Amino acid sequence: MNIAIPKETTDGERRVALVPDMAKRLTGKGITVRLEQGAGEQAGYPDDRYVEVGAEVVSDTASLWGGADVVLKIHMPGESRGTDGGGSRHEVDMLREGAVLVGLLYPLTNGDAVKRMVQRKVTSFSLDQLPRITRAQSMDVLSSMSTVAGYKAVLLAAAAVGKFFPMLVTAAGTIAPSKALVLGAGVAGLQAIATARRLGAVVQAFDVRPAVKEQVESLGAKFLEIETVAEAETAGGYAKELSEEQSRRNREVIHGAAVLADVVITTALIPGRPAPLLIGEETVRDMKPGSVIVDLAAEAGGNCALTKAGEEVTAHGVTILGPINLPSTMPHDASRMYSKNITTFLDLLLEEGNLKLDFEDEITSATCITHEGAIRHEGTRRVIEGGSGS
């Protein structure tokens, strides 16, 4: 069994899919781990760390991909940078037929790559499709990366706002703590609440799911109450799209809190849909000059009407940050978390060091995108057959 860890080709990506500690766990089972030269360097894991735990370091990109039984990645494969001197080539095309690929593939928006995998008869698993069940928690890459994003979002806000977060008693007088508002109390939101509280801010939080109130309050934040919204979450625990009337009422509540806040962190996402609009331009206009919005939904269109993904915007005296791929800005620990999740998932696919795919298993079935020249994942198949998957 050969497992390959290629260098990520996505611009700005500094994480690696497997860290040395997890590589050691695999080599200890008699599995061959092959790492593309320099794959872990930007995350603080040099090649020699992998060699120490029995992994091989490979400089030939095509050889790495072509000799792999399983490839562990973070992002969907793309164009190789040709580090082996062979020029640019799509990574999927370098895989042998029947190879297995595991990563955060986001197949609903990467239709062209999915089609390539079908043509190469690649068996692919996408961890963004993990079911929200107890048994899958240790494999939940999205939650791990959301933890990183929620933490880093508060640090960005603290650096951008012109105020202290904590209350300070100084010779020059007492300085009041900053007021933070967190929109969305999923994993990223809860981590943002906890981080803002640790820094000393007074925190309020809003979520359409009343069930999260207890979690919010356990972290020392105030939960913004609103009339209970029926069916505000899916059976899997995710927020779902609301009616226009419900959304309007939510925006009114958010407006009242946002105009009093120094910092607003937005984290609201709906799987497979554009991010819900929570902060309109009229709210930004009424916010305090010098206040800051950090929009973690920027890549999905943004929770704020004025957000621009990957940019910093100043409007009506308010700074609006639209960061993308925040986990990559903390690559060392983000890689450790990702590596632990993906290795645990890999355990599901292996039996005594060999692949054994059980499609009767709920996790295996839900995450499998392509297999034996066909698209197994129903949602992906619908999108691609509808012509909107690329």
pTM to 2 decimals?
0.91
What pLDDT is stored for residue 385 in this prediction? 85
Distance CA(170)–CA(244), nearest Å, equals 48
Closest CA to 152 of 185, 188, 128: 188
> Both 245 and 341 in a single domain?
no
> Both 264 and 160 in a single domain?
yes
Asked if 236 and 131 count as a contact pair (C-beta separation under 8 A), the reply is: yes
Distance CA(379)–CA(384), nearest Å, equals 9
> Both 172 and 116 in a single domain?
no
What pLDDT is stored for residue 191 in this prediction? 98
Distance CA(129)–CA(379), nearest Å, equals 10
> Both 7 and 151 in a single domain?
no
Identity of the amino acid at 22: M
User: Which tens digits make up the pLDDT trace of 44-90?
Assistant: 999 999 999 999 999 999 999 999 999 999 999 998 865 545 567 89
- What does the angle CA 326 – CA 332 – CA 337 come to, to the nearest 5 degrees? 80
Q: Indicate whether 117 belongs to any domain.
A: yes
φ/ψ (deg, to 5) at 284: -60, -40
> Both 293 and 351 in a single domain?
no
Q: Indicate whether 387 belongs to any domain.
A: no
Distance CA(142)–CA(130), nearest Å, equals 9
Identity of the amino acid at 389: G
Distance CA(388)–CA(390), nearest Å, equals 6
CATH code of 86's domain: 3.40.50.720
Closest CA to 18 of 45, 58, 48, 51: 45
Beta bridge partners of 314: 319
DSSP string, 71-111: EEEEEPP-B---TTTT---BHHHHSPTT-EEEEE--GGG-H
Q: Indicate whether 249 belongs to any domain.
A: yes
Annotated catalytic residues are 132, 137, 140, 143, 238
> Both 325 and 335 in a single domain?
no
Q: Indicate whether 68 belongs to any domain.
A: yes
Distance CA(97)–CA(88), nearest Å, equals 20
Q: Distance of alpha carbon 189 from its chain centroid, rounded?
A: 13
- Going residue by residue through the chain, which has 390 residues, state the pLDDT in tens, using 9 for 90 and above: 999 999 999 999 999 999 999 999 999 999 999 999 999 999 999 999 999 999 999 999 999 999 999 999 999 999 886 554 556 789 999 999 999 999 999 999 899 999 999 999 999 999 999 999 999 999 999 999 999 999 999 999 999 999 999 999 999 999 999 999 999 999 999 999 999 999 999 999 999 888 899 999 999 999 998 765 545 555 544 555 667 787 788 889 999 999 999 999 999 998 778 999 999 999 999 999 999 999 999 999 999 999 999 999 999 999 999 999 999 999 999 999 999 999 999 999 998 888 999 999 999 999 999 999 999 999 999 999 876 555
φ/ψ (deg, to 5) at 171: -65, -20
> Both 295 and 175 in a single domain?
yes
Q: Indicate whether 154 belongs to any domain.
A: yes
Asked if 53 and 23 count as a contact pair (C-beta separation under 8 A), the reply is: yes
Mean residue pLDDT of the chain comes to 93
Burial class (CB in 10 A: 0-12, 13-18, 19+), 329: middle
Distance CA(242)–CA(273), nearest Å, equals 12
What pLDDT is stored for residue 85 in this prediction? 52
Distance CA(179)–CA(158), nearest Å, equals 11
Please report, for residues 126, 127, 197, 305, the alpha-carbon distance to residue 364 in angstroms, rounded to integers and kept in the order given: 10, 10, 38, 38
> Both 284 and 345 in a single domain?
no
What pLDDT is stored for residue 232 in this prediction? 53
Residue found under tokens 């000059």: 289
Structural domain span for residue 35 = 2-129+331-376
Distance CA(387)–CA(48), nearest Å, equals 45
Q: Indicate whether 383 belongs to any domain.
A: no
Q: Indicate whether 381 belongs to any domain.
A: no
How many structural domains comprise the chain?
Answer: 2
